[in-house]
């Protein structure tokens, strides 16, 4: 089976894609690319089209589309999801959404188990000195937003992953909490694909492939003054 992986949840870092094949339980990366910088997700379609042509892949030959849905507050989420749904129109492939925590989860849980750490936080950068915190919750992961100077209780020890791990580790220093940084800042294309396969097989709870926004949107609706008609 051929798979397309899209990740536009990284904000200023850019947006990435991966082309993979699955043979039984084995995943092989065929090609990957990064549209770096702000607005990378908007440039991703042209880059992806070139790589699909190089690989000799047509949209109709793709069997599953895996896309990161967040958490986030970035335009890249909408753009990468729109691209996934657009590619899906040219094929019969399902679009399967996964979160950053779900993709990094197995690796983080392996590290935490080897170190004897109970707490796991997958933390992503947000706006205005905030972070998104994903934590294991039952069969999945639960996301919240928190101010860096008002982080929730972390327990006696915590393992950190995600692109905001260094920021959170700095804030937890001197609190008496044992903090370990995993060194895992973003999921690989293979890790995203594995999480999508698990969700498609029913091993993760259902999640509609739409942006997972924890923060409210930047744009605000204009205020409309309603005048009362004269009596």
**For each of the chain's 231 residues, which pLDDT tens digit applies?**
999 999 998 766 789 999 999 999 899 999 999 998 878 888 999 999 999 999 999 999 999 999 999 997 667 889 999 999 999 998 889 999 999 999 999 999 999 999 999 899 999 998 888 999 999 988 889 999 999 999 999 999 999 999 999 999 999 998 999 999 999 999 999 999 999 999 999 999 999 999 987 765 554 444 545 444 454
Q: Are 125 and 11 in contact (CB under 8 A)?
A: yes
Q: Are 130 and 215 in contact (CB under 8 A)?
A: yes
Residue from 170, 80, 164 nearest 127 by CA = 164
Residue 221 in tokens: 């609706």
What's the order of all strands across the beta sheet hosting 157-161?
Answer: 140-147, 130-137, 119-125, 157-161, 178-181
Show the beta-strand stretches assigned E in 37-139. Answer: 62-70, 95-99, 119-125, 130-137
Domains contained in the chain, CATH given = 2-99+187-200 (3.30.420.40), 101-181 (3.30.420)
Q: Are 192 and 7 in contact (CB under 8 A)?
A: yes
Instruction: Give the β-pairing of 119-125 and 130-137.
Output: antiparallel
């Amino acid at each position: 089976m051929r798979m397309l992986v899209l990740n536009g949840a990284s904000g200023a870092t850019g947006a990435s894609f991966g082309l993979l094949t699955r043979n039984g339980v084995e995943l092989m990366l065929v090609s990957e690319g990064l549209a770096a910088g702000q607005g990378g997700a908007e440039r991703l379609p042209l880059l992806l089209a070139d790589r699909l042509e190089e690989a000799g892949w047509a949209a109709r030959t793709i069997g599953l589309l895996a896309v990161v849905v967040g958490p986030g507050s970035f335009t890249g989420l909408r753009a990468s999801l729109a691209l996934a749904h657009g590619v899906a129109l040219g094929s019969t492939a399902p679009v399967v959404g996964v979160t950053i925590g779900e993709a990094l989860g197995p690796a983080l849980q392996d590290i935490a188990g080897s170190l004897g750490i109970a707490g796991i936080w997958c933390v992503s950068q947000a706006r205005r000195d905030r972070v998104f915190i994903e934590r294991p919750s039952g069969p999945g992961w639960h996301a919240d937003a928190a101010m860096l100077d008002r982080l929730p209780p972390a327990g006696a020890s915590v393992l950190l992953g995600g692109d905001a791990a260094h920021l959170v580790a700095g804030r937890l220093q001197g609190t008496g909490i044992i903090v370990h940084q995993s060194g895992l800042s973003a999921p690989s294309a293979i890790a995203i694909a594995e999480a999508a396969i698990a969700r498609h097989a029913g091993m993760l709870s259902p999640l509609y492939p739409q942006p997972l926004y924890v923060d409210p949107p930047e744009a605000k609706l204009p205020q409309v003054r309603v005048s009362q008609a004269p009596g």
